Structure 1
């Protein structure tokens, strides 16, 4: 079957095209571009970011249609993508400036990694490619992209759009199996948008040529929500339902995996509205089996939902109360629209449970009392902590997002660039006095910049009067040495 062209007809095909996307020849082209240093030019980076931003704006209907055909959901992050691309374009000059030290004899510059592999995922097929792509381009890298095979419409759109929009010598799509890519093609950095046992096993395989390649990968864990007794239940229910059921049918690592509810709030139900579809039959069958095993336990209560349709990949928003930590719903990451509710005595009990279960990508706390957040904030570890919301962080571009979910893609590009220390020893004067001490340190730390120049100038002439300095060269050396 011939793949239908998105630009001729906005209706997509069922098969992802298998032609024109080689392996080693693409890598050789990208390596040649890395060697040419073309991607390190600020003008080139800005040009690519501008073109990518323009494509997102001009083809938002086409993008939304492709995502809808894959997951039957509405793409709600186009505005976020636009904002992040524009933010990278507008701030690139500042991001690429060297970081200077106190005496200006040493500085830190960020250098592009070189050739980066971005592996997209099915749950956020578009964002998992475009967000890291923006950061990788801003850092000056060449990029190879592997889209998800489970989202053929979005993958087809990207495969037809990226070669048209961006520099085809620096950014290419690979339509090969992931094991083949990792075992045969060498990269300088690999970015996985989701935790994957397959990726971990492949990279540890002795056959892999990327055993020593740095890898950026989401740290796995269950996102948790705690509802305190003073939370506004109506608003809390709406926000939790949106984050769990409305965003990709619960198939997201940042969606609440379970909810800890204070005893005083426990009897009140949580309701849901917006919806989507499960990715495939295998995953839906897994969810059905796990839910059936949970409901077979006498202490479990089905608050609502539970109906499913294997033909249409449909599973109702489902809330189960009376769940304990050892139950089937709590053993693995469900990645679906099933929300377990656990009763806890107080916030300290909630903090203990969260802490014992390890890292969480997102922790949400619903309360009207600020001090209630302290035990969870101080004693648990999570990528993001939100108070009185469950999903707003995905629509924000934080300057340096670290340690957690998709760490980097909402702001600057540190993971896609390596730090290099540059130390410059300047002329005779600074070789004799590399450390700034005494009155010079006072001047450097506490005086405004213009006064530093005045003080150094006066000190020079006093020193010259007793024959210690070497004319204007000495003045310039001192100014250069102590001004940050």
Structure 2
């Protein structure tokens, strides 16, 4: 029987497939391009064509749908052949893809290759027409360096530290709604093991204690009193990542900032949802992506200061802002840069096929989802057609001011001026050859 998280992932996959099937004919069709009026008896269009042989590399967190098969939909829709490299960090899912994909998809066009880092390195040494990578910025740099050899275009989805800005919400309903959405987005979505999960929260000092109490109540209400027994909190992917997370809060400078949670069960790879207040900004928990159920809260004097805090750090894949103030929303839009910006919720942008998903700066480059996936794996070729029935004799050398003036009249669609110039009824204006 499928678990709720697995059912949600399969539902997301079905949604994306149906969306692509419904819109594929329109995506594949050439789009007519508008030409200048001077281009009589001419036409142009933009025709999508597949890039060719593509490779798709993915990490160990939630690889089944969101990171492996979602980009594959766009690659197949665009007509590419694909080599899919799932992560060795989640061997069950990797084995599942390797066994199931050949049963349902053309094995001559789509192949799944399993293996560790050495296999990934060998694959990167090959010549590709497109590389799609999801993972850390560290490995992303390796992928991009390998792509340079053949000038291969890349799409990098690298994640990073996604902040949530929590403004003081006057309505108790709004406060509870905002808190519930933060908690379920952080701890309910793969226990924070997702690139778009909230990484840390920014809030005013005066509201911090209130927010912590609201979060404690929300965690118990959503997940129950016995957090270890709930089926709604994902376990950590493997012991390596468990130990990494354990080290983050074992740091003596960080340990004292824990105000809720912190218990761990290494045998079952369970980490209790944990809240920290003002851990040292130079600590690893605040300099590297957490990718787990640890949620630091950083206080600022005024919520507007959160903009400067965010801008002092690498650009995030997503920024989440909980506020009812339009002025703050406008500032967040105009003064911050991120892959996506969501007001009063989190992660919902991922589910919208009509929105591009991708990063900017160190959080990645390129975008996918819906038609954006199709476009990512396509080359949009300009196609122009011209009749032999028309020609402009003054397009040919030798050049002089008279011909250049005629060119200018034609480009500006001044056929009357051109005709008068030809008949000698108007002296061409003096222009330089450089013009």
How far, CA to CA, are the matches of 1:211 and 1:220 in structure 2? 26
2:279 pairs with 1:323: yes
Aligned to 1:191: 132
Aligned to 1:418: 379
Is the contact made by 2:355 and 2:369 (CA closer than 8 Å) also made in structure 1?
A: no
Is the contact made by 1:301 and 1:320 (CA closer than 8 Å) also made in structure 2?
A: yes
Is the contact made by 1:192 and 1:218 (CA closer than 8 Å) also made in structure 2?
A: yes
Q: Deviations over 1:11-62 (max 9, x none)?
A: xxxxxxxxxxxxxxxxxxxxxxxxxxxxxxxxxxxxxxxxxxxxxxxxxx6x
Aligned to 2:112: 173
How far, CA to CA, are the matches of 2:57 and 2:298 in structure 1? 35
Aligned to 2:334: 378
Structure 2, gaps ≥5 residues long: 36-41, 224-231, 396-406, 416-435
Identify if the C-alpha distance between structure 1 residues 95 and 131 changes in structure 2 by more than 3 Å, giving closer, same or farther. same
Aligned to 2:46: 108
**Backbone CA RMSD of aligned residues:** 2.6
Is the contact made by 2:54 and 2:82 (CA closer than 8 Å) also made in structure 1?
A: yes
What secondary structure sits across from 1:76 in the alignment? helix
Cα offset, 1:120, TM superposition: 2.2
Aligned to 2:203: 261
2:152 pairs with 1:201: no
Structure 1, gaps ≥5 residues long: 1-60, 441-484
How far, CA to CA, are the matches of 1:357 and 1:409 in structure 2? 27
Is the contact made by 2:349 and 2:355 (CA closer than 8 Å) also made in structure 1?
A: no
Cα offset, 1:328, TM superposition: 3.6
How far, CA to CA, are the matches of 1:323 and 1:362 in structure 2? 22
Q: State TM-score, norm by structure 1.
A: 0.70
Identify if the C-alpha distance between structure 1 residues 165 and 228 changes in structure 2 by more than 3 Å, giving closer, same or farther. same
135-144 or 269-278: bigger deviation: 269-278
Aligned to 2:95: 156
Cα offset, 1:196, TM superposition: 4.7
2:238 pairs with 1:238: no
How far, CA to CA, are the matches of 1:340 and 1:282 in structure 2? 21
Higher percent of residues as strand = 2
Structure with larger RCO (C-alpha < 8 A, sep 6+): 2
> Following superposition, which runs of at least 4 residues in structure 1 exceed 4 angstroms of deviation?
208-211, 294-297, 399-406, 430-440
How far, CA to CA, are the matches of 2:252 and 2:333 in structure 1? 31
Corresponding residue pairs, total: 367
Q: Deviations over 1:451-476 (max 9, x none)?
A: xxxxxxxxxxxxxxxxxxxxxxxxxx
Cα offset, 1:391, TM superposition: 1.6
Q: Deviations over 1:426-472 (max 9, x none)?
A: 231366799675499xxxxxxxxxxxxxxxxxxxxxxxxxxxxxxxx
